[in-house]
Chains A and B, each alone.
Chain A
Amino acid sequence: MTLQSATSRIPEPAPRQGFGARQYLVCLKGILVREGLRFLNQRERFVSSLVRPLLWLFVFAAGFRQVLGVSIIPPYKTYVLYEVFITPGLCGMILLFSGMQSSLSMVYDREMGNMRTLLVSPFPRWFLLISKLLAGVMVSIMQVYAFLAIAWFWDVRPPWTGYLMILPALFLSGMMLCSLGMLLSSMIKQLENFAGVMNFVIFPMYFASPALYPLWRIQESSPLLHKICLANPFTYAVELIRFALYGEVDRGPLLIVVGFTVLFLGGAILAYDPSIGLLGRKQDNGGNA
């Protein structure tokens, strides 16, 4: 083993250089490719991410079809089957679980040390975290489209424009949920604590939303739960996706999702900044970086 620099003598320390736009793109592409490769290498992760919503669609929705009637509410122009109603919610479910899974992967990466290779990159940390977020969202969107393709055979067939319009809605909702996951990952010291995220974040967010039943029905049965649903960011992600799937833009949810995305993303960037963030405080207690 005889090491030399790759092609020539290592030069004298270079003067201040900074990075150009092309190098930023190279870095972003590298992070996206790595996340994509990890996803493809973990086929069970892909399958399990589809099994969960498909079970809801095939089993839960089929069972509740006769119990729960859905009246004509926007964006639907006619009565729709319960399977059709919960499909946008199940798309949101995929984004929610995937966002949290990317948070799990960051806790795992921190514990295993892989995260260190990212954090010691000379690119600005905000850029690295946003790139990591985009990679997580890209994987989530692939899962949603795979789910919608299967749902098409189950007679869930939105207009073809919906398949295009849903893309920006999925992207925004995915960014919001992945940012939330990243913010949570900065607060979790060890992998074992992720079970708490499941019980205290994922399930409450999912069930206290219009993913499974319309908001007006929730209001009728429990005004308090209705207020909780209105305070839940996931509610607006589901509504944004639901309208987009039928070729419409619902501006209220759109603005709220953008607002929460900025809030969570800003929080995650601050949390991962070693000089001011939660991670910096965590080091005081001997936590991993």
Chain B
Amino acid sequence: MQHVKAKEGVSLPAALEVSAVSHFYGEKQALSESSFSIAPGRFAVLLGLNGAGKTTLFSLISRLFDTRHGTIRIFGHDIRREPGEALRRLGIVFQARTLDLDLSVCQNLSYHASLHGIGRAEAMSRIRTLLAQIDMGDRLYDKVRSLSGGQMRRIEIARALLHRPPLLLLDEATVGLDIRSRAEILAAIRELVHTEGISVFWATHLIDEVEESDHVVILDKGRVLADGRVDDVVRACGANGIREAFATLSGVASVAGGAAR
């Protein structure tokens, strides 16, 4: 198990440790011996083209799929052997919308709180605080159906933070949003890392969401092609930037615009 030295000299386990994980859909291999780890308090980006295996990896980390080959640990807790301990440390924003459209914002968030054993009074206090922070305090009793796509996404992020997880997974959280909503959400999550020390694993296929100080894991056809700080990955590839490094590694002729395709 990988450990990271904390400031006080206390040894902390990695926020997320993926060791030799493979996954198959029938005969087709979706992940191949993938290994990497994310230190606590880091913003890590999982970068890959559509179909690279990002959602499969997230399904394994969140125990929607069983990890049959390799191990996944969240703050030292094996997702297979100690799923409860691992999942309570994990907040997840899925790629697909998972809010109940017919329920109100409050009812959706309360439901999530109860799924983590948080009582009503404490849940309501946290819900009001989080909604105020995402500028949606006045939408508490509105049906989710009446919200815009960006607002729904913000609610899902608030929901993922409700049980105060030290690790947050976001699977293509900005897909389908306009530029302004994308930038706002990304900035808010980055700020969360700086101010709260939370660890974030952000899956995307959009290269312009990657910053130089980030930890990046590049996934292609189920294989981890690069894992490390962005500037280290760029230097190792002899490239001029992450865009060029990604194009080189994934064998894509050029990566135009924001999308890695």
Contacts and interface: CB of A to CB of B under 8 A. Distances in A.
B114 interface: yes
B31 to A, nearest CB: 12
B80 A122 contact: no
Q: Number of contact residues on B: which range applies?
A: 35 or more
A120 interface: yes
B64 A120 contact: yes
A14 B238 CA distance: 41
Interface in B201-231: none
A122 B85 contact: yes
A289 B65 contact: yes
B166 A13 contact: yes
Nearest to B163: A122
A124 interface: yes
A86 B58 CA distance: 51
Contacts of B133: 1-4
A37 B107 CA distance: 9
Interface string A12-45: 1110111110111011011101100110011000
A31 B100 CA distance: 13
A275 B66 contact: yes
B51 to A, nearest CB: 12
A286 B29 CA distance: 11
Contact of B185 (A1, A22, A42): A1
A121 interface: yes
A120 B115 CA distance: 9
Nearest to B86: A122
Contacts of B82: 16
Interface string B81-111: 0111111111010101111101100010011
A67 interface: no
B243 interface: no
A10 B189 CA distance: 14
Given A27-B114, A116-B64, A13 B129 contact: no
B65 A114 contact: no
B176 to A, nearest CB: 14
A280 interface: yes
A122 B77 CA distance: 12
Contacts of A2: 133, 188, 191
A3 B188 contact: yes
A20 B117 CA distance: 9
B164 A5 contact: yes
A19 B117 contact: yes
Contacts of B198: 5, 10
B119 A11 contact: no
Given A5-B196, A10-B166, A120-B62, A38 B100 contact: yes
B230 to A, nearest CB: 23
B84 A9 contact: no
Interface in A120-167: 120-125, 128
Given A1-B154, A26-B119, A284 B114 contact: no
Given A2-B188, A4-B133, A26 B12 contact: no
Nearest to B143: A41
Interface residues of A, number: 54
Given A112-B96, A117-B112, A289-B64, A13 B89 contact: yes
B75 A13 contact: yes
A283 interface: yes
A285 interface: yes
Contact of B115 (A20, A22, A30): A30
Interface in A256-289: 274-275, 280, 283-286, 289
Contacts of A24: 117
Contacts of B103: 34, 37-38, 41
B102 A284 contact: no
A8 to B, nearest CB: 9
A7 interface: yes
A129 to B, nearest CB: 13
Given A37-B103, A285-B26, A113 B96 contact: yes
B66 A274 contact: yes
Contact of A120 (B12, B92, B96, B120): B92
Nearest to A110: B64
Contacts of A12: 12, 166
17 contacts: A1-B133, A1-B154, A3-B158, A3-B188, A9-B197, A10-B198, A22-B119, A29-B114, A34-B103, A114-B100, A117-B111, A123-B117, A274-B64, A283-B65, A284-B24, A284-B26, A285-B26
Interface of A: 1-7, 9-14, 16-20, 22-24, 26-27, 29-31, 33-34, 37-38, 41-42, 112-114, 116-125, 128, 274-275, 280, 283-286, 289
Given A4-B133, A112-B98, 16 more contacts: A2-B188, A3-B188, A4-B195, A13-B40, A13-B76, A16-B77, A27-B115, A114-B100, A120-B63, A122-B86, A124-B84, A125-B83, A283-B59, A284-B24, A289-B64, A289-B65
* A-B pairs with lowest CB-CB distance, top 4: A30-B114, A23-B117, A289-B64, A6-B126
